[in-house]
Each structure stands twice: as C-alpha cells, then as structure tokens.
C-alpha cells in the first residue's frame, strides 16, 4: 500500500525517441515474474550517472564506475531485480562483467558500452547464467513504449511501479522527459536512490549532462529517506538521446540549461517522492521543511534527523501528536550552537512551538486532525539564517517490521 501513488500506464509514460526497453523473466525473482530489463540507447546518446556512497558498493556499481571513465559510447543498460550482486566479492564483479560481455556480443558493441545494474538480496551469489539466457527474450521485447512495464520489472519490495513523464515547450522545441525508479526500503540515498533512469529527448554532451544530473540529484533523490539505510546499489542514470534537431544544450551557460534541468528535475522529484510514498509499510507521506538555517546543508541535516527518528515516525504512524519528539530530533541533529529559544514548529498551518516551548494557542485536538491526513507537512524555523531545505519521508508502521522480518521468506 503506497500513499497516494498511482501506477503509470503504458500511455502515461511517453516514449523518448530512439530509446527502447525490453523486459523478460530470467527466473532470478519468483517464477513468472518479470525481473530483467534491457534499455537500448541510440548511437550517439549521452549517459550520466551518480552512484551510492556506500563503501560496500555492489559489483555492478564497480562496473559502472569503470564505464564512467572509459570514454566508450554507452549503448545499453541491463538491470536485474531479485539479487543485488553486493557483498559478493571478486566473483560478483566477474558475474557482472559476464552479463555485459554476453549482451555486448549480441549487440555487436564493446562490453564497456553495456552498463549493469542489480537490486535485491545482498550477499547471495548472482545466478548470472539465468540472466544471460534471458537476454534474447529481453532484446526481442524492445520497444519505445515499454517504460511502464520496465518500471514494474525492476521492483523489489515496492508495491507500486514508479514512473513519470513531462512534456515541455522550451525555446520552440517540444522536449519529452520520461523516467522510472524503484526503491522502498534501504532508502537513504547519498548521491542517488536505489535505481532511477530518466531519459530526455534532447542533445546534451556528457560533461554537461553530468553537471545537470548532480544538480538534479541533490534536489530530488538526496532529499528522500525511508529508513536511513544507504543501499549498496544506488544508481541514478540520466540519458540524453542526442537526436538530430532536438533541443541542444552545449554548456552550463546555455540559455536552455535551466529550463531543461527544471523539466528533468520535475520527473526526478516525482520519482523521489514516489519512493517515500511507497516506503516499506508507509501509511503517510511526510514533508519536512526546515527554514532559517545558516546553510542549506544544516537545514537538510535537521530534516534528515527528524525524518530518520524512529520515535517521530512511529508517532506519525499512530497519528499521535507526541510532537516533543520532533524537538528532541532537532536537538540532536548536530548543530552545536543552536539556540533552542529561537526555534518554532508548525504542523500544517498549526503553530505548535514558539521560542522553543509549546505555543500558548496550541490545541492538541487540531494537531490530531492534521495527523489523521495521509499527507503531512511540518515546518521547522531555526531563525538563525536565510537557508531552507526540504526532506521527504514516510511513517514507520508494523508493516515495516513485517516486510523486513519476512523479506527473504
């Protein structure tokens, strides 16, 4: 059960010219379930990526990092679910490369043109032969209109596929941006989320695309947390098809850079929020705004401390306005010179805290009403600067425990 999140339809996710997606069943997940996706890129496309900061980066992440610096033009992304190929040591790296080589051979390209991604259980050997055997089926299935099917095929504990398209007129060009993502637990991206792929019908050289990606990631996936567990497999990939006659952005100084970045960011923010809406066991989607910080970084630090507090999250699940827990999290967020007598807190439009203590006009019954909603916004004003930031998360329910206690069974 996700919070106010609808699965994308085949029609709602718009094709991005030249980019095709093929889905197959490799038998890594349960029999009869889609678990393999190949994304084919047209010749000349640009690919940018950001990856997990977890030191136990999975084998496919190591392969992707090599490709980031290889200079070889990207031609395909191959994604399996059901097994993360993480904590698998040197053997795992060989398995990831074997899959790339097998797909490269079928496509007639260099193995370095194929980028591997995995998600699922950690520290189990990857059944890489099963994946290789299913590659022809995935290639046969390739179609520009398969984004929604791909969004479903990369899920693990996700309950709802996540995808979004926007179409914008920018400087006389019609630009389509389409993206998909998966992720539900082990979510506190640090650079990127579990897996997200966004494609744009535009011409952007790779270095410019990478800069754009970094800005977008910081304003979307890096603002989400479900449980504070940074995954071993996080990757966020941005593809420009570089179609002739498409809108071109040659540098950061280009007049079209900002509008194009903002169109892509709209898809990224949608997908990032979708991760929290479909957080494991989520019953509420929570937006935490922090304002009046000295820096945006400290605002995010406060937002993340609140968002990751099991006590705040369980109170949100209960709909119980035990709001002192929010103040406690603000207090341990790590701002050493915080003056608590300047801190204010609002829940929706209800002022809860003034000058570090409960507001005289606070009415608990009104707080309970606000917390009964499925979408909750809180605002923390630190009153020590001009910076603001926002973090998205979900509550912490019995089902989070159930899902994670039973994940492998």
Is position 245 an interface residue for its own copies (rule: CB under 8 A)? no
Nearest one of 159, 215, 45 to 113, comparing CA atoms: 45
Contact between 364 and 384 under an 8 Å Cβ cutoff? The reply is no
Q: Active-site residue among 193, 225, 230, 393?
A: 193
87 binds its own copies, rule: CB under 8 A = yes
What is the smallest separation between the CB atom of 187 and its own copies, expressed in angstroms?
A: 10
Min separation Cβ 90 and its own copies, Å: 7
For the question of residue 176 being annotated catalytic, the response is no
Q: Give, for 169, the enclosing helix (H) or strand (E).
A: strand 162-170
Residues 26-55 that bind its own copies (CB under 8 A): 53-55
Alpha-carbon distances, residue 268 vs 164, 166, 251 (angstroms):
8, 11, 21
Is 400 a binder of its own copies (CB under 8 A)?
yes
Four-point Cα dihedral 293, 183, 393, 315, nearest 10: -140
| Contact indicator for 177, 266 with CB cutoff of 8 Å | yes
The closest alpha carbon to 258, from 168, 387, 391, belongs to: 168
The minimum distance between CB 350 and its own copies, in angstroms, equals: 14
Please select the residue that binds its own copies; options are 43, 90, 108, 172, rule is CB under 8 A: 90
Nearer to its own copies, 30 or 409 (CB): 409
Question: What is d(CA 174, CA 201) in angstroms, rounded to the nearest whole number?
Answer: 9
121-145 CB burial, b ≥16 within 10 A, e <16 = bbebebbbebbbebbeebbebbbee
Smallest gap from Cβ 168 to its own copies, in A, equals 36
Candidates 13, 36, 45, 122: give the one binding its own copies (CB under 8 A).
122
Q: Residue 319 corresponds to which tokens in the numbers above? A: 């709909």
320 binds its own copies (CB under 8 A): yes
Give ∠ CA 257-164-61 in degrees, rounded to 5.
75
Nearer to its own copies among residue 168 and residue 294 (C-beta): 294
The structure tokens listed for 376 are 């909750």
Q: Does 409 bind its own copies (CB under 8 A)?
A: yes
Segment 91 to 120, residues that bind its own copies, using CB under 8 A:
91-92
Residue 8 Cα distances to 13, 84, 148, 354, angstroms: 7, 25, 6, 43
Residue 214 contacts its own copies per CB under 8 A: no
8 A C-beta contact, residue 401 and residue 319: no
Q: Which is nearer to its own copies, 15 or 92 (CB)?
A: 92
Binding mask 124-153 for its own copies (x = CB under 8 A): xx----------------------------
Nearer to its own copies, 110 or 314 (CB): 314
Query: How near is the Cβ of 68 to its own copies at its closest, in Å?
Result: 19
Q: How far is the CB of 353 from its own copies (least distance, A)?
A: 7
- Cα separations in angstroms, 210 against 207, 349, 406: 5, 39, 38
Would you say 40 and 309 are in contact if contact means Cβ atoms under 8 Å apart?
Answer: no
- Of the listed pieces 23-31, 316-324, 369-377, 384-392, which binds its own copies according to CB under 8 A? 316-324
Q: Find the DSSP H helices in 198-288.
A: 206-219, 257-277
Q: Which stretch binds its own copies (CB under 8 A): 142-150, 171-179, 266-274, 322-330?
A: 322-330
* Residue 193 near its own copies by CB under 8 A: no
Residues that bind its own copies (CB under 8 A): 53-57, 84, 86-92, 121-125, 185-186, 190, 227-232, 308-311, 314-315, 317-318, 320, 322-325, 327-333, 335-336, 338, 340-341, 353, 355-358, 396-398, 400-402, 404-409
Active site residues: 193
């Amino acid at each position: 059960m996700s919070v106010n999140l609808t699965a994308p339809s085949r029609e709602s996710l718009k094709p991005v010219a030249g980019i095709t997606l093929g889905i197959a069943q490799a038998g890594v997940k349960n029999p009869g379930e889609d678990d393999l996706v190949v994304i084919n890129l047209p010749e000349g496309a640009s690919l940018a990526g950001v990856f997990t900061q977890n030191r136990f980066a999975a084998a496919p992440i190591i392969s992707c990092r090599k490709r980031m610096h290889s200079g070889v033009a990207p031609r395909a992304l191959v994604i399996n679910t059901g097994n993360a190929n993480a904590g698998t040591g040197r053997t795992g790296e060989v398995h990831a490369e074997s899959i790339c080589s097998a797909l490269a051979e079928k496509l007639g390209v260099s193995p370095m043109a194929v980028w591997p991604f995995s998600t699922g259980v950690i520290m189990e050997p990857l059944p890489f032969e099963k994946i290789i055997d299913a590659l022809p089926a995935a290639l046969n299935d390739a179609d520009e209109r398969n984004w929604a099917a791909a969004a479903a095929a990369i899920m693990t504990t996700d309950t709802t596929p996540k995808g979004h398209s926007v179409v914008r007129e920018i400087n006389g060009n019609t630009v389509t941006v389409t993206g998909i993502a998966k992720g539900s637990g082990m979510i506190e991206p640090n650079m990127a989320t579990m897996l997200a792929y966004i494609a744009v019908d535009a011409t952007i050289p790779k270095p410019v695309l990478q800069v754009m990606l970094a800005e977008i990631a910081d304003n979307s996936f890096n603002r989400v947390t479900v449980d504070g567990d940074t995954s071993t497999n996080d990757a966020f990939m941005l593809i420009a098809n570089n179609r002739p006659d498409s809108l071109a952005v040659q540098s950061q100084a280009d007049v079209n850079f900002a509008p194009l970045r903002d169109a892509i960011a709209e898809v990224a923010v949608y997908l990032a929020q979708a991760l929290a809406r479909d957080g494991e066991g989520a019953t509420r989607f929570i937006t935490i705004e922090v304002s009046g910080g000295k820096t945006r970084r400290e605002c995010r630090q406060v937002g993340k401390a609140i968002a990751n507090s099991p006590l705040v999250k369980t109170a949100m699940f209960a709909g119980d306005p035990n709001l002192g827990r929010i103040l406690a999290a603000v207090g341990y967020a790590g701002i050493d010179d915080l003056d608590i007598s300047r801190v204010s807190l609002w829940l929706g439009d209800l002022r809860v805290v003034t000058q570090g203590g409960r507001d005289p006009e606070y009415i608990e019954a009104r707080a309970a009403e606000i917390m009964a909603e499925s979408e909750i916004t809180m605002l923390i004003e630190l009153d020590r600067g001009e910076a603001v930031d926002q973090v998205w998360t979900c509550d912490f329910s019995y089902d989070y425990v159930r899902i994670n206690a039973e994940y492998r069974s």
